[in-house]
Amino acid sequence: MTAPAATGQRWTLRGAHTEYTVTVPAHGRWLELVAWGPHGVSDGPSPVAYDGPVPFLTAGDAAPIEYATDADRPFTGADLVVETATGERRVGFGHTGVRADAEQRELAVDFTDPVTGLRATVHYRVPAGTDVVQRWVELTNAGTASLRVVRAGSAGFCVPTPHGALLSHQWGQWAQEFQLAQVELGHGSFAIGSAQGVPGHLHVPWLAVRDAAEAAGPTWGVALAWTGSWEISAERDTGGLTRVRVGRQLVDGPLELAPGDGLTLPVATGAYSSDGLDGLARVWHTHQRLLAGERLTPRPVLYNSWEATYFAVEAESQLALAGIAAELGVETFVVDDGWFVGRDDDTAGLGDWTPDPAKFPAGFDAFIADVRALGLNFGLWVEPECVNPRSRLYAEHPEWVYAVDGRPITPVRNQYLLDLGRPEVAEFVHSTVDGLLRRYDIDYLKWDFNRPRTEPGRPDGVGPLDLDGAHVANLHRIYERLRRDHPGVLIEACAGGGARTDLAMAARADVFWPSDNTGPLDRLAIQYGFLHANAPHLLSSWVTDAPGLFDPRPRTLAFRFVLAMAGVLGIGADIRAWTPAQRAEAAGWVARYKEIRDVVTHGEAHLIGGPDQARCAVQYTAPDERRVVVLAWHTGRLDGAGLLPSRPVRLPLRGLDPAARYRHGDRDYSGSHLSAVGLPVHWSPTHDADLIVLRRD
**Shortest Cβ 513–ligand GLA spacing (Å):** 6
Nearer to ligand GLA, 505 or 674 (CB): 505
Q: Residues comprising the binding site for substrate? A: 174, 336-337, 413, 446-450, 494, 516
Which residue lies nearer to ligand GLA by CB, 47 or 338?
338
Contact 246, 268 (CB under 8 A): yes
Q: How far is the CB of 383 from ligand GLA (least distance, A)?
A: 7
Binding residues: 174, 336-337, 413, 446-450, 494, 516
Query: Least Å distance between CB 626 and ligand GLA?
Result: 37
Q: Which one among 306, 339, 340, 400 touches ligand GLA, defined by CB under 6 A?
A: 306
Question: From the candidates 466, 516, 551, 688, which is the catalytic residue?
Answer: 516
- The string of DSSP codes covering 249-299 is --TT-PEEE-TT-EEEPPPEEEEEESSHHHHHHHHHHHHHHHHHGGG-SPP
With H, G, I as helix, E, B as strand and everything else as coil, classify residue 504.
helix
Could you tell me if residue 7 is left (phi over 0), alpha (psi between -120 and 50 degrees) or otherwise beta? beta
Buried b (16+ CB within 10 A) or exposed e, 175-190: bbbbbbeeeebeeeeb
Query: Is there binding between residue 448 and ligand GLA (CB under 6 A)?
Result: yes
DSSP 3-state of 186: coil
381 lines the binding site for ligand GLA (CB under 6 A):
yes
Q: Is 356 in the site for ligand GLA (CB under 6 A)?
A: no
E strand spans, 27-129: 32-38, 80-84, 94-100, 106-112, 118-125
Contact 205, 224 (CB under 8 A): yes
- CB nearer to ligand GLA: give 242 or 517: 517
Binding mask 513-552 vs ligand GLA (x if CB under 6 A, - otherwise)? x--x------------------------------------
Which residue is catalytic, options 61, 356, 443, 448? 448
When asked if residue 309 is in the footprint of ligand GLA (CB under 6 A), the reply is: no
Provide, rounded to whole angstroms, the least separation between the CB of residue 572 and ligand GLA: 8
Nearer of residues 159 and 198 to ligand GLA, judged by Cβ: 198
496 vs 678 by CB, closer to ligand GLA: 496
Closer by beta carbon to ligand GLA, 336 or else 466: 336
385 makes contact with ligand GLA (CB under 6 A): no
The residue number whose beta carbon is nearest to ligand GLA equals: 337
DSSP, res 2: P
By beta-carbon proximity to ligand GLA, the closer residue of 336 and 690 is 336
List the 568-571 sheet strands across, edge first. 511-512, 490-493, 444-447, 377-382, 332-335, 302-304, 568-571, 540-543
**Residues 391-410, interacting with ligand GLA (CB under 6 A):** none
Contact (CB, 8 A) for 359 and 339: yes
Q: Quick one: 386 or 629, whose CB is closer to ligand GLA?
A: 386
The count of other CB atoms within 10 Å of the CB of residue 118 is 24
* Residue 625, phi-psi category: left (phi > 0), alpha (psi -120 to 50), beta (remainder): left
Tell me if residue 516 is catalytic: yes
Q: Which is nearer to ligand GLA, 274 or 414 (CB)?
A: 414
Binding residues for ligand GLA restricted to 481-500, rule: CB under 6 A:
494, 496-497
For 31, the 3-state DSSP assignment is coil
- Sequence-separated (6 or more) residues with CB below 8 Å from residue 41: 18, 19, 21, 35, 47
- Identify any residues that bridge with 106 across adjacent strands, giving them in sequence order: 125
Cα–Cα nearest to 273, from 503, 41, 107, 102: 41
List CB contacts of 144: < 8 A, sequence separation 6 or more.
117, 259
Shortest Å, Cβ 337 to ligand GLA: 3
Number of helices (H), then strands (E), in the chain: 13, 38
Within the chain, what is the greatest distance between any pair of CA atoms? 80
31: left (phi over 0), alpha (psi -120 to 50) or beta: beta
CB of 204 to ligand GLA, least distance (A): 17
Q: Which residues contact 19 (CB under 8 A, 6 or more apart)?
A: 12, 13, 35, 36, 37, 38, 39, 40, 41, 42
Question: Is there binding between residue 336 and ligand GLA (CB under 6 A)?
Answer: yes
Q: Are 528 and 610 in contact (CB under 8 A)?
A: yes
Whole-number Cα distances in Å, 207 to 171, 228, 523: 11, 17, 21
* 384 binds ligand GLA per the rule CB under 6 A: no
Strand 268-273 and strand 219-224: the pairing is antiparallel
| Cα distances (Å, whole numbers) of residue 667 to 278, 583, 694, 696 | 28, 29, 9, 12
Q: Which of 253, 194, 247, 197 lies closest to 225, judged by CA?
A: 247
| Residues binding ligand GLA: number (CB under 6 A) | 11
Kindly identify the residues of this chain, within the stretch 250-279, that bind ligand GLA according to CB under 6 A. Answer: none
**Per CB under 6 A, does 305 bind ligand GLA?**
no
Task: Using CB under 6 A, pick the residue from 121, 141, 450, 635 that binds ligand GLA.
Answer: 450
Residue 337 binds ligand GLA (CB under 6 A) = yes
Nearer to ligand GLA, 11 or 306 (CB): 306
Q: Residue 568 CB, nearest distance to ligand GLA (Å)?
A: 14
- List the beta bridge partners of residue 381: 446
Asked if 435 contacts 481 with a C-beta cutoff of 8 angstroms, the reply is: no
Rounded to whole angstroms, the Cα distance separating 509 from 535 reads 13
Site for ligand GLA in 176-235 (CB under 6 A): none
Residues at the contact surface with ligand GLA, assessed by CB under 6 A: 306, 336-337, 381, 448, 450, 494, 496-497, 513, 516
The residues assigned a catalytic role are: 448, 516
